[in-house]
Structure 1
Amino acid sequence: MRTLVIGDIHGGLRALHQIMERAKVTKKDKLIFLGDYVDGWSQSPQVLDYLIELNSTNDCIFIRGNHDELLLHWLKDSKDNLLWYNHGGEATVLAYEKVSTENKQLHVEFLQSLQDYHLDDKQRLFIHAGFTNMNGVNYEYFPKLFYWDRTLWETALALDTSINPNDVSYPKRLTLYNEIYIGHTPVTRINKTIPIKKGCIWNVDTGAAFKGPLTIMDIDTKEFWQSEPLHQLYFDEKGRN
């Protein structure tokens, strides 16, 4: 049995189909999705339909992303904001014009069921964005940071690799878990399109919301499979570009 981790999808169902096929995913595989299933490309409702169906056949863990939370507020409480609208929300709002009230309710239930993080028995943490408490996720005062924080990845990016992890000046947050898997901040910002490891952190957001591919990775072997860049799969759309 493999454990496979999947980066930010952002409404790109075609890319999700590609990586599932390219990784030859079977019902024996455990799937951990890092969040941000929606906002960007035009198939956010269909992505959620696919994930709900997948959950009935596979062992899946679904982490909450900030975009998933924004969609939940819009569906449940009609909370809209221009910032969300301009960062992928517009495509989602348009896509939901064709979704039934009944189906919207299923999506609300799915979005409410998302987990803030997952910690496995090998001290590997799966989380959308990060955490800020120096003692780890169990001590975080502000749970929204699980899907909004960028300081964890920024800390890892700025890490002086000559410092020993036992050194007092080594960032404590990077010593708490054997591995941390995140999305949220695309590695395309550092001109990469493959999963990047910094310290103990693996960033699997390879820029699918923009002009990068979607990625699925085997966490034990570190082998990964990718879709075509999403702007090529949705050539008549802008995504979040």
Structure 2
Amino acid sequence: MSAIAENLKRVQDRIDRAIHRSGQSADAVKLIVVTKTWPADVVQQVVDAGTRVLGESRVQEAQHKVPEVDGVVSWHLVGHLQRNKVKQALPLFDLIHSVDTLRLAKEISRCAVRRNTPTRVLVQVNTSGETSKFGISPNAALDLVAQVDDLQGVSVTGLMTIGAFDPDPEAARPNFVLLRQIRDRIAIHKPHVSALSMGMTSDFEVAIEEGATMVRVGTAIFGQRAV
């Protein structure tokens, strides 16, 4: 077994234990292996080890990488999406995690209608309040979800957030709690808005304990990012 395959197994074991602590069902959490900066031959190792969902942060990088990775794989865009990259992004990704403005959502709608292919998205919420992060403010999230979900060719399936940057994973717990609370309020009228994409290498176990349905992990599997 390769080192990457061993790391993948360790991460999955940690996910399983966190799921058990959270009381969720065994298959409640989807692992998205984030491939940012890693070449296709390295990414292929996690696919060969059983990974079926990969995350990429940049459209340009995905354009080169997606065709080179063999296997039945679902690609998610987990990084910020610029409006001028939407046309290139839609054929590559099954889910976009980072919609945080109506302008971006309208461009996705326009391109999705032109392709005659619906696009699933998550609305990104800045639950930590850190100005370095993208995301709609929590008090505007409900309105944005309603507006985006009404657009033709776009379906909002959940929310995404990035926890506070802190060595202590517990520092991110309030951010994850807040996202779950926002989701629960939205789901009263829109039960299909159920996914919670939250938690990365430093804090994914805390995120799962607070109800994450998707975690985005790269460094714990590949090691420090390639330059």
Tell whether the structures are fold-level matches, with TM greater than 0.5.
no
Quick check: which one's helix share is greater? 2
TM-score range, shorter chain: 0.3 to 0.5
TM-score normalised by structure 1 residue count: 0.38
Of structures 1 and 2, the one with the larger relative CO (CA 8 A, separation 6+) is 1
